[in-house]
Amino acid sequence: MPRIVVDVMPKPEILDPQGKAIVGALPRLGFTAFSQVRQGKRFELTVDGEVTEEILAQAREAAEKLLSNPVIEDVVNVEVVAD
Amino acid sequence: MSATELPLIGDYSTPVAALSGARIGVVTFPGTLDDRDAARAVRLAGAEAVSLWHADADLADVDAVVIPGGFSYGDYLRAGAISRFAPMMSKIIDAANSDAKLPVLGICNGFQILTESHLLPGSMIKNDHLKFLCRDQVLRVENNATAWTNQYAKGEEITIVLKNQDGQYVADEKTLDALEAEGRVAFSYVGWNPNGSRRNIAGITNAAGNVVGLMPHPEHAVEAGFGPDHTGTDGLGFFTSVLTHLVGGQK
């Protein structure tokens, strides 16, 4: 069944405390090449049947209205993934 | 009020007779923790506490609403994000924005629900130090003209409990400037910023002063023997303020 993937990231200007903690942990494991980590969220919305334009529009609206908070987050990607 | 619930609040006088008619709703969501304490604070202040269930769409003729703390919906998605769309919240949002300007107080998770509802600007993210924190916190009352703060003096310092993980208040610079310029910062952290909140903001109000949200918990500081330092009752003023507001006796 096809899924619609929605990716949400903290806004660039919002400090991401979780990303900061992760970037601090990486060098302790020997991963020294990464200067910054930002942690976001990936949602997978399963659709029973074909993903129409209307359904995709619904996913975009849900992404703005519920899946993200525009004060602190950006919806960076909404795409259909076929299995 | 039963004998075991008699308030041990020293010389704090509440004009019970004049206020006995006030009904304050306390909303319970799945995962709410502090609804009982909030209802108790309402009763100690001299009003009737009315339980409101998130899935109902009837405000039961309450005169004001407290949205208490906890972890509604387990903080899933974002703190307050799912609760914001409860039927009861739709009613509260409409009533808060109506001409009647229903007084609404959001405490901790309730504050998060109010920002997700867009009744208050900004949002809360994880504490800058990433830890859950529970401590007695000193706040300064920056605005004593709201429905929930009129019994405090402007600049008064109060000590109430702070306990949260997602307590870092954030908003864009323009919003922060406007909040400060319009006197809409209701409470600031004093001495130490416990979570990285922008401009030490602990609580804010809407422009009309009927909707107030803050991260610390006034309902845990209403009864001697149980509040900060085992004596503190600094939180009771929130609840006596709204009663004063409701009877039109705002100072």
Confidence of residue B8 (pLDDT cuts 50, 70, 90): very low
C-beta atoms of B127 and A17 within 8 A = yes
Task: Tell me which chain B residues have a C-beta less than 8 angstroms from the C-beta of A67.
Answer: 77
Optimal mutation site among B76, B78, B113, interface A, most CBs of chain A within 10 A:
B78
Top CATH class of B18-246 equals alpha beta
Question: What distance in Å separates the CA atoms of residue B48 and residue A51, rounded to the nearest whole number?
Answer: 52
Q: Are the C-beta atoms of B232 and B159 separated by less than 8 Å?
A: yes
**Residues B116, B142, B217, B245: which is the catalytic one?**
B217
Q: What is the pLDDT of residue B229?
A: 80
* SS3 at position A73: strand
Residue A71 clears pLDDT 90, i.e. is over it: yes
Over residues A60-76, the mean pLDDT reads 96
Please name each of the domains of chain A with its CATH number: 3-81 (3.30.1280.10)
Residue by residue, what is the 3-state secondary structure of chain B? CCHHHCCCCCCCCCCHHHHCCCEEEEEECCCECCHHHHHHHHHHHCCEEEEEECCCCCCCCCCEEEECCECHHHHCCCCCCCHHHCHHHHHHHHHHHCCCCCCEEEECHHHHHHHHCCCCCCEEECCCCCCCEEEEEEEEECCCCCCCCCCCCCCCEEEEEEEECCCEEECCHHHHHHHHHCCCEEEEECCCCCCCCHHHEEEEECCCCCEEEECCEHHHCCCCCCCHHHCCCCCHHHHHHHHHHHCCCCC
Here the tokens at position B210 are 């009927």
> Could you report the per-residue pLDDT of B174-195, keeping only the tens digit for each?
999 999 999 999 999 999 999 9
> Could you report the per-residue pLDDT of B232-244, keeping only the tens digit for each?
899 999 999 999 9
Residue B10 clears pLDDT 70, i.e. is over it: no
Residue B13 clears pLDDT 60, i.e. is over it: no
- Element holding A9 (H helix, E strand): strand A3-10
C-beta atoms of B126 and A18 within 8 A = yes
Buried residues in A22-51 as b, exposed as e (16+ CB within 10 A): ebeeeeeeeeeeeeeebebeebebebeeeb
Over residues B196-222, the mean pLDDT reads 97
Average pLDDT, chain B: 91
Question: What pTM value is reported for the model?
Answer: 0.88
Task: Tell me which chain B residues have a C-beta less than 8 angstroms from the C-beta of A13.
Answer: 172
First to last CA, chain B: 28
Q: What is the pLDDT of residue B164?
A: 94
Q: What is the pLDDT of residue B231?
A: 80
Complex ipTM above 0.85? no
Any catalytic annotation for residue B108? Answer: yes
Q: What is the pLDDT of residue B228?
A: 85
> Could you report the per-residue pLDDT of B126-180, keeping only the tens digit for each?
999 989 999 999 999 999 999 999 999 999 999 999 999 999 999 999 999 999 9
User: Which percentage of chain A shows pLDDT scores above 90?
Assistant: 86
Q: What is the pLDDT of residue A17?
A: 87
Question: What distance in Å separates the CA atoms of residue B185 and residue B198, rounded to the nearest whole number?
Answer: 11
Over residues B58-79, the mean pLDDT reads 95
For A43, residues 6+ apart whose C-beta sits below 8 A from its C-beta are: A5, A6, A7, A8, A63, A67
Calculate ∠ Cα B157-B37-B244, nearest 5°: 55
Residue B217 clears pLDDT 80, i.e. is over it: yes
Buried residues in B118-133 as b, exposed as e (16+ CB within 10 A): ebbbbbbbbbbeeeee
**Residues B142, B219, B223, B245: which is the catalytic one?**
B219
Of A14, A21, A69, the CB nearest to B78: A69
Among chain A residues, CA nearest to B84? A66
Q: What is the pLDDT of residue B1?
A: 43
Here the tokens at position B169 are 């208040």
**How far A66 CA sits from the closest chain B CA (Å)?**
7
The candidate with the shortest Cα–Cα distance to B139, out of B129, B130, B149, is B149
C-beta atoms of B123 and A17 within 8 A = no
Question: What distance in Å separates the CA atoms of residue B99 and residue B114, rounded to the nearest whole number?
Answer: 19
Which residue carries 């809409």 as its tokens? B184
Q: What is the pLDDT of residue B26?
A: 97
Q: What is the pLDDT of residue B20?
A: 53
Optimal mutation site among A23, A38, A69, interface B, most CBs of chain B within 10 A:
A69
Any catalytic annotation for residue B48? Answer: no
Over residues A15-43, the mean pLDDT reads 93
Q: What is the pLDDT of residue B12?
A: 38
> Could you report the per-residue pLDDT of B16-39, keeping only the tens digit for each?
444 558 999 999 999 999 999 999
AA identity, residue B214: L
Question: What distance in Å separates the CA atoms of residue B22 and residue B42, rounded to the nearest whole number?
Answer: 10
Q: What is the pLDDT of residue B225?
A: 82
